[in-house]
Chain A
Amino acid sequence: MDDLDATRQALAISCADALELMTDHLEGALSGADASRMRAHLESCQACSLFLDQLRATIKLVHDAGPPQEFAVNPRRLESLIELFRSERDN
């Protein structure tokens, strides 16, 4: 076995395959065998580990760009709903 074969073997799967499995890996959705191959690949592949870190950074940025902590419910709308709630429960 030459050096390239040994490298491919250590990587377990190709980068192209690992990239398609990134979200499943983050979600803990990979089967036992796929999860081991993914872990082996990430241990040996700096570029895919970097990509995974960037994906995590992306998720964090989307989260941080996310919804405001507070938001007003229009009081008039709320009162009309309360009225409907009252009349429906009375029936």
Chain B
Amino acid sequence: MTECIQTARTLQAGSPGLGWCVSRTVPNMDCDAVKATDSELLEQLRQADETAFRELVDRFDPGLRRMACLYVDPSVADDVVQDTWIVVIRGIDRFEGRSTLRTWVFGILVNIARRRAQREGRTVPFAALASVDDAWAGTVELARLRHPELGEGYWAAPPTWARDPADAAITAEERALVLGAIERLTPAQREVITLRDLEGWSGPEVSEVLGISNVNQRTLLHRARVALRQALEGYFNG
């Protein structure tokens, strides 16, 4: 996935001016507001408005490509995204507006990408099965939770970091560390944390697109964040 994100960064360098508003603007909008914007856009699409279609592609295509890279090789991601758009174009009249346009479009991509990945024999992130399969030893090692007086289950010593990232801008080394740690997560954890914390989606949206319960989504998110915190602890205390 790092490769894919890097590819994305390389591509964007020479292509200023195209709109990118997949994640960080929409989740902050009220759900009803999103649906109102959606229904306006949908109406234009149904009336064969090509400008509206271009807007839709501009809005979602970058995120779709990044999402596809969670499942398939970057060289195949374009095909998966293209197939997604074809299904979207042919399905516009069938979209009933029960979900947002974004979760509908990305849900289509997830189905296509999973099938393609299976065909190519890749490990497919499948969050729906994950909480059953993942072994979980707890948020921190038990050995760190043995207070000399309070006993088991209480911190023996506070989990201090020698360096505090505080509000400083992320360094190139920290970025590489974070992306590397995401790549080492279980596929299902990677799927959830990428959408939640990297792309900035809301919990209910992620649950809907991945077809998992909110509880499962939060469990996977917790485990992923804990693993990343652990990686950062090693780095800051190293």
Q: A residues bordering B, Cβ < 8 Å? A: 4, 7-8, 11, 14-17, 19-20, 22-24, 27, 29, 45-48, 50-51, 54-55, 57-74, 77-78, 80-82, 84-86, 88-90
Q: How far is the CA of A53 from the CA of B37 in the complex (A)?
A: 36
Count residues on chain B whose CB falls below 8 Å from chain A CBs. Answer: 74
Q: How far is the CA of A63 from the CA of B178 in the complex (A)?
A: 10
Residues of A within 8 A of B226 (CB): 55
Q: Assess whether B62 is in contact with A67, with CB atoms less than 8 Å apart.
A: yes
Q: Assess whether A62 is in contact with B158, with CB atoms less than 8 Å apart.
A: no
Shortest beta-carbon contacts, A-B, top 9: A72-B15, A71-B62, A89-B48, A14-B153, A23-B222, A19-B139, A47-B155, A47-B158, A16-B153
Secondary structure at chain B's binding surface: helix, strand, loop or mixed?
Answer: helix
Would you give the shortest CB distance from A15 to chain B, in whole angstroms?
5
Q: Does B121 contact A (CB under 8 A)?
A: no
Task: Find the residue from A11, A16, A55, A59 having the highest chain B CB count within 10 A.
Answer: A16
Q: Does B170 contact A (CB under 8 A)?
A: yes
Q: Chain A: which residue is nearest B170 at the CB level?
A: A64
Q: How far is the CA of A9 from the CA of B35 in the complex (A)?
A: 47
Q: Assess whether A48 is in contact with B155, with CB atoms less than 8 Å apart.
A: yes
Secondary structure at chain A's binding surface: helix, strand, loop or mixed?
Answer: helix
Contacts A19-B139, A72-B11, A88-B89; A65 near B175 (Cβ below 8 A): yes
Q: Chain A: which residue is nearest B20 at the CB level?
A: A70
Q: How far is the CA of A82 from the CA of B138 in the complex (A)?
A: 50
Q: How far is the CA of A23 from the CA of B166 in the complex (A)?
A: 20
Q: Can you name 8 A-B pairs with beta carbons within 8 Å? A: A17-B153, A27-B203, A65-B174, A67-B8, A71-B65, A77-B82, A81-B85, A85-B89
Contacts A27-B218, A61-B232, A65-B170; A54 near B161 (Cβ below 8 A): yes
